[in-house]
Structure formats: C-alpha cells, structure tokens
C-alpha cells in the first residue's frame, strides 16, 4: 500500500508539472493586468498605456492598465503580494516601494517578494511656481523660505515619493523649512498649482505644457544636465547641491512567477520599449529609456533598498523601532 501511494503521488506530481509547463508554454492565454501607481492622465499613465498597447501586440493578448494611485505609489506592489504568480498580474514598481519597510510596518520584503521583470525609464523632475509668483528664480525661493520658515507650501505626487523626499533633502541641505502638501499624482498636483492652492510644486516634467503655455515657471531640474526643453533652468548640481534624481521604475510580478513567464514578459516589454511610439511618448515628458533586464533590475532593487534606508534615516523619517 505504501509503495502504491508513493507511485500515485509521483504520478500526480508529474501530471501537475506537465500541466504547469503546458500553461507556461501557452502563456498568455488571456489578458494581462498591469497596475500603475499613479492616476489616469499623468505622464506615468500616458506612457505606460502606450507601452501596454505595444506589448499587447507582441504577446497576442491585451495588457490592460489599472490605475492604483495613493500610498506614495506603493499600492500596485502591495497588491502583488496577494496575486497569483502566473504572470497575469503585473505592477509598476516606483522607487518609493524600496522605502516602504523603513517607514511603515509591512509583512513582505520589496526585494525578495517581487519578481523583477524589466526596468523601463525614469522621470525628469523639477520645481515650478506659478508664472505670476513673486518668486522669479531659485535664489528668490530660498530667500523666501529662510525669511518665512514653514510658510512656503509645495506639493508633490505623494508622501515619501521621490519628489517629496528629494525636496526635503534639498531643504535640509539649505537649512530651510517647507510646508509639504501631498497629492495622489501629477494630474491632481497640476490642478492645485494652477488653481493657486500652492506656492510651488515638485514633480516630473508633466508640467511642461503649462510652462510652455506661460502658466508655470521652472526654477530648477534634477538631472545630470539641463533639459533641452528648459535650457534656462539650472540643475541642482549647478546650484551647488550635489543631487541627481531620476527615480527609475519598471515592472514586477509576484514572487515565484516561473522564469519562463518572466522571460516572455521581459522580451515582449523590451520590444515594446523599442517601438518609436513609446520613445515618442517618453519624449513628451523628457523621459528617457533606462533599460535593465531581469537580473540587472533585481540587483538594482537590492542596491536601492540599502541606499534608500540611508536617505530615510538622514531625513529622520524612519518608523519607530
């Protein structure tokens, strides 16, 4: 009886493995859901929708965007933790995901509990003010903040996002105190700054059309060099602040997603990245492709997780032990 039971178990295991292999070989057999960390209508949503359309053509199944804004861009990664590891639920992984365990009590690990598929791009960031603001340049911004501690209000795309933390790091280096107002994404933030509810905004360059329309003024940008679209706006490094921030992001799947599925997804999104329509969509927001394959992206996650701990501790934002 024992031997017969072992034979039956072995046969069942082989059958399950065979079914799993068959399912992977036929992947994808239905639409794929891609969770995006920010609201519809912003730079992230628009560029990710173009990428999803391109990838769907390669995969032969639609890649459907679902917007999950809030919680500093970490909701999609959190929802991966309860999703099946079959490749049909994917998530955008913003940099804020790697800060989460240092500021919030969670039961999962951002490095170990996500299968990293591919890194896509990063943001071009900057600080803007309304065009009719008395703050005409960065020196005015700093001078006002020093003369009025805690009164200069600025908005970001959420607490603990890169715009928020980088602006607080800038403030710390300059010895100024600002009043942070978080929003769920660029679309909400844009409405607030153009509606007169804020004195400044730290965001990706989704604000470019409003600058070009004469409604906002750029005080600085955060890349290695000046943006072609805003040649008069100095970088933080030019302003004496040794800071570069482009906040790379990519796509992840639940932990345990089969390697064959990860590879198929990687290859499809890699091809989708190369499509001129995606490159053009990125260009509208001064975003550039930042490609990393699954192995490179996993290493990036490990290194970033360690580096973000230092930043959180430096800003005094770590959760109590």
pLDDT digits (tens, 9 = 90+) for 257-276: 999 999 999 999 999 999 99
Would residue 52 count as lying in a domain?
A: yes
Assess whether 256 and 118 both reside in one domain: yes
Would residue 12 count as lying in a domain?
A: no
Q: Average of pLDDT values for 90-96?
A: 96
Retrieve residue 302's tokens: 């490990």
CATH number of the CATH domain containing 209: 3.40.190.10
**Helices (H), ranges, the chain:** 2-25, 43-59, 75-80, 100-103, 138-147, 162-174, 186-194, 208-212, 259-274, 276-283, 294-314
Using 50, 70 and 90 to split pLDDT, how confident is the model at 98? very high
Expressed as residue numbers, the domain containing 308 is 28-122+248-314
Output the pLDDT for position 319: 78
pLDDT digits (tens, 9 = 90+) for 137-189: 999 999 999 999 999 999 999 888 999 999 999 999 999 999 999 998 888 99
Would residue 286 count as lying in a domain?
A: yes
Would residue 13 count as lying in a domain?
A: no
Assess whether 118 and 254 both reside in one domain: yes
Would residue 2 count as lying in a domain?
A: no
Q: Closest Cα partner for 220 from 128, 287, 124, 123?
A: 128
Would residue 191 count as lying in a domain?
A: yes
Would residue 232 count as lying in a domain?
A: no
CA-to-CA distance for 184 and 159, rounded, in angstroms?
A: 9
207 pLDDT above the threshold of 90: no
Per the model's pLDDT, the better-predicted residue between 14 and 284 turns out to be 284
CA-to-CA distance for 190 and 205, rounded, in angstroms?
A: 11
């Amino acid at each position: 009886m024992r031997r017969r039971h072992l034979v039956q178990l072995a046969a069942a295991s082989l059958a399950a493995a065979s079914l799993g292999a068959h399912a992977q070989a036929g992947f994808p057999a239905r639409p794929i859901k891609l969770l995006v960390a920010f609201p519809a209508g912003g730079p992230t949503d628009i560029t990710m929708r173009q990428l999803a359309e391109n990838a769907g053509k390669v995969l032969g199944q639609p890649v459907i965007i679902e917007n999950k804004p809030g919680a500093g861009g970490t909701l999609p990664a959190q929802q991966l933790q309860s999703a099946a590891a079959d490749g049909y639920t994917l998530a955008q992984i913003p940099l804020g995901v790697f800060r989460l365990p240092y500021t919030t009590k969670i039961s999962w690990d951002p490095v170990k509990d996500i299968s990293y598929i591919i890194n896509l791009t990063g943001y071009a960031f900057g600080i803007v003010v309304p065009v009719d603001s008395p703050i005409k340049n960065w020196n005015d911004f700093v001078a006002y903040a020093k003369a009025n501690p805690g009164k200069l209000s600025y908005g970001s795309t959420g607490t603990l996002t890169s715009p928020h933390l980088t602006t607080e790091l800038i403030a710390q280096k300059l010895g100024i105190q600002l009043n942070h107002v978080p929003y769920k994404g660029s679309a909400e933030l844009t409405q607030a700054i153009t509606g007169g509810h804020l004195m400044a905004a730290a965001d990706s360059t989704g604000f470019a059309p409003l600058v070009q329309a004469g409604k906002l003024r750029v005080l600085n940008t955060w890349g290695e060099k000046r943006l072609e679209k805003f040649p008069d706006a100095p970088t933080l490094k030019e302003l004496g602040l040794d800071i570069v921030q482009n906040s790379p992001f990519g796509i992840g799947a639940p932990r345990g997603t089969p390697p064959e599925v990860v590879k198929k997804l990687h290859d499809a999104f890699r091809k989708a990245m190369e499509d001129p329509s995606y490159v053009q969509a990125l260009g509208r927001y001064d975003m550039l492709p930042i490609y990393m394959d699954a192995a490179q992206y996993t290493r990036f996650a490990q290194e970033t997780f360690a580096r973000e701990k230092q930043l959180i501790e430096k800003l005094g934002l770590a959760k109590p032990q």
